Amino acid sequence: GENVEQHPSTLSVQEGDSAVIKCTYSDSASNYFPWYKQELGKGPQLIIDIRSNVGEKKDQRIAVTLNKTAKHFSLHITETQPEDSAVYFCAASMGGAAGNKLTFGGGTRVLVKP
């Protein structure tokens, strides 16, 4: 089955700096890659996603890039703010017979220091 690895597990940045989280996936059949932000006591919140026919997607301060050949994708957060502090998860999905099943990475705890 699909396996998703996420690095780093923790990330501490100064407010205003950029943060980058990287994920690799194992199954080339995966075609949908969402990113979630989870704050304490809450469920994961979808913040951005990318499909395999797109190489890059941007939404204000966050962007995601996808390299299908290397089977890795990354989340970039620019001009970080204290409210960006949370745990971030990447995930991969194949669709088709696998339906909406998401395989998640292990998570990255991001701390933005004011």
Partner 1 sequence: KAGVTQTPRYLIKTRGQQVTLSCSPISGHRSVSWYQQTPGQGLQFLFEYFSETQRNKGNFPGRFSGRQFSNSRSEMNVSTLELGDSALYLCASSPGQGAHEQYFGPGTRLTVT
Segments of 15-59 assigned E as strands: 19-25, 32-38, 45-51, 56-59
Q: To which residue do tokens 């890659």 refer?
A: 33
Q: For residue 32, state whether it binds partner 1 (rule: CB under 8 A).
A: yes
Which residues 6+ apart lie within 8 Å of 17 measured at CB? 80
Q: Could you say which of 40, 43, 53, 69 contacts partner 1 (CB under 8 A)?
A: 43
Q: Could you say which of 31, 57, 63, 109 contacts partner 1 (CB under 8 A)?
A: 31
Residues lying near partner 1 in the complex (CB under 8 A): 31-32, 34, 36, 41-46, 49, 51, 89, 91, 93-107
